[in-house]
Amino acid sequence: MTTEAVHAELVALYDGTTPVRSRWSYRADSPFTVTASFQTDRDRWVEWVFSRELLVDGLEDSAGIGDVRFRSLEERGLRMLVVEIESPEGYALLELDHEAVAGFMGETDELVPIGSEEEHFDVDALIEELTRV
């Protein structure tokens, strides 16, 4: 099993004005998911795990109908990726530089080509983890 990973630190804008630090990660041994953590306070981060496919789709068109939604937006000559996240604790609309997120996704594609995730997924390790008592 591999532990290769891709990481990126990106700045998002909350409600179009307030900068929010975010950390994005992708691991080859968890090939179907992307993790994004958003800093809410000095020492507090909120972590979201979502489908890699959802993010790929969101870079091109509106994607998502649940707690995480993505869509591209071009405004004043800037292309952004809008991320909407919601939970019982709250709602946030964040804007990220589209090119930066696309660059991160390009790095994930180099690590695990899109469409070949199944080849990198260790189902036996997952079963072992789930059945460990």
Q: Are 103 and 7 in contact (CB under 8 A)?
A: no
Q: Write the burial class of residue 42 (CB in 10 Å: 0-12 exposed, 13-18 middle, 19+ buried).
A: exposed
**Of 11-20, 28-37, 68-77, 90-99, which gets the smallest average pLDDT?**
11-20
For residues 20 and 14, the answer to whether their CB atoms sit within 8 Å is yes
The DSSP string of 44-90 is: EEEEEEEEHHHHHHHHHS-B-SSSEEEEEEEETTEEEEEEEEEETTE
Mean pLDDT of 7-33: 90
- Report all structural domains of the chain as residue ranges with CATH numbers, in order of start: 5-131 (2.30.31.20)
Q: What is the pLDDT of residue 62?
A: 94
Higher per-residue pLDDT: 116 or 25: 25
Gap between the terminal Cα atoms of the chain: 22
pLDDT for the residue 84: 94
The label of the residue with tokens 């609309």 reads 93
Note the pLDDT tens digit of each residue in 22-34: 999 999 989 999 9
Q: What is the mean pLDDT of residues 67-95?
A: 91
